[in-house]
Structures are given as structure tokens and as C-alpha cells.
Homo-oligomer: A and B are copies of this chain.
């Protein structure tokens, strides 16, 4: 197991959690105390991290929400990355894909300038667009395979592109630093992916706001040891807090998601054994 996936596994075990929390702050949705802070996005993220760190196995800031605010956004992202407890890995949700010489620049940006542990990538431009990231053998790459949105039907499903991506990534994975992004909204297809690539780790968005169901996606996604996946939730946790009880509501949502994932199966052997009889 490479350094990133080891760090992730340690966080999974320490917090008994396969919950990855998306840090995607929307300025217009911030509760008013944060909107008036000096650095609103960072103040909000800080409160989310304080409330949820015991329940998260990873944090995943989507770069869109920071780039959208220019200099202020990038400053908030850097402060957020520094603030996340060092034992919890950070996955930069960038979905980048560019020609090799530009991909080199993006790889150094995410791993050296921003010091993230892992990144999401778009594979449409093929191997040379991923190669500069693959060279970082101690970091993690989650490559888009089957996304959770309706548009995945346009190009990913026809001619089984998603399966061809999964198989290609499995060949690119010589350093053991690759995983796949697979959407919680399409459990039947995720099952096919798991059959083709029994050992690749999955990052699974699409639960909550997007309508994916834990009890369908977990049996489809887990590997032969009952693990091999993390579930990402963003709005379902970060946008449920309001007023005085903000921190409590967010904390409760994170704890409940974590526990629901564990009950959905796949985290700990004791869980699996106990649940085996009651779950289809």
C-alpha cells in the first residue's frame, strides 16, 4: 500500500470512518456570522473541521469553490489545508486533465504548492495527461470513471467507456497510487466496475443531495475484504447547520453519516460479521 492509502487507512481505523467530507463552501449559503468574518470561506471551513474531524477519514475541497473567489478564495484554500489535522488526508477535487507538459505543472501545483495528499483527475486526455501525477508514488490519484451526475449517460456509459477507463487505470497503477471516482447513483454499474478491478480503491460521491443510497452502493462498491472505498458527502453535512446550533447540527450529521456507512457494511470485520445475516 502506498503512503497516501496507508495514511487514509490509518484515518479510517482511527475514526472508524469511511466518510470523506467535501469542503465546498458557497458564499451565498454561509450562515451570517461567517459571511461577515474577515475570511468567510476559511471561517466556515474551520467551524466544519472543528465539528467533524472525529468523524472524517478525509477532507475533499473542490477547487471550484475557491477559484471562484479569486485571490481571497485561494488564500482560504491554503489556510484550510493548513488547518486540517495532519493525520487526516486531503483530497483536492480538481478533476484536471491536460496535455503532458501542462499536467506536470498541475501535478506540482497540487502536491507541492498546495501540499495535498491526493487529487481527482479526468482521464479523457489519456495516459500522458496522468503520467506526471503517477510519478508521485507517495500521493493518491482518484481518476474519474463513472460520475454521479445525469450527464454520465452521454459519454461514460456508451461503449462501456467507464469500464475501459477502469481497466486502463488498473494498468497505470504500477505504484499502487491510483483509485477511481465512481458515483453512488449508479450501483449496478459500480458492481461491474468492482468485478473488473477487484482491488482499486473507490472514492464515491453522490450520496445525499444527489440521491444515491448507501444501502445500494456499499454492497456494490466494497472489495473482497469489505473495504476499499470511501464515501464523500458535502452539502449533506456542511449545509445543514444554521443559527446557534450550527456546530451541533453539523457534528450530528457527520456522525450519523459515518455510522450509517458503517452499518451499511464494509468498514470493520466485526460489523460485517454481525450484519451478514440481516443484510441482503
Residues of A within 8 A of B (CB): 24, 26, 62-65, 67-71, 74-75, 78, 95-103, 105-106, 108-109, 113-114, 122-130, 144, 147-156, 158-159, 161, 164-165, 168, 209-210
Contacts and interface: CB of A to CB of B under 8 A. Distances in A.
A187 to B, nearest CB: 18
A125 B109 contact: no
A125 B98 contact: no
20 contacts: A68-B105, A70-B113, A95-B122, A99-B147, A99-B210, A122-B124, A123-B154, A124-B155, A125-B151, A125-B152, A126-B150, A126-B153, A126-B155, A127-B151, A127-B154, A128-B149, A128-B150, A129-B151, A154-B168, A159-B159
Oligomeric state, in copies: 2
A60 to B, nearest CB: 12
B149 A126 contact: yes
A151 B122 contact: no
Q: Is the interface of A mostly helix, strand, loop or mixed?
A: helix
Given A124-B155, A159-B159, A165-B155, A109 B64 contact: yes
B161 A62 contact: no
Contact of A149 (B105, B125, B158): B125
A105 B64 contact: yes
A64 B94 CA distance: 11
Contacts of A123: 124, 154-155
Contacts of A153: 126
A228 to B, nearest CB: 23
B126 A156 contact: yes
Given A98-B95, A155-B164, A67 B128 contact: no
A68 B109 contact: yes
Contacts of A78: 70-71
B70 A74 contact: yes
A62 B98 contact: yes
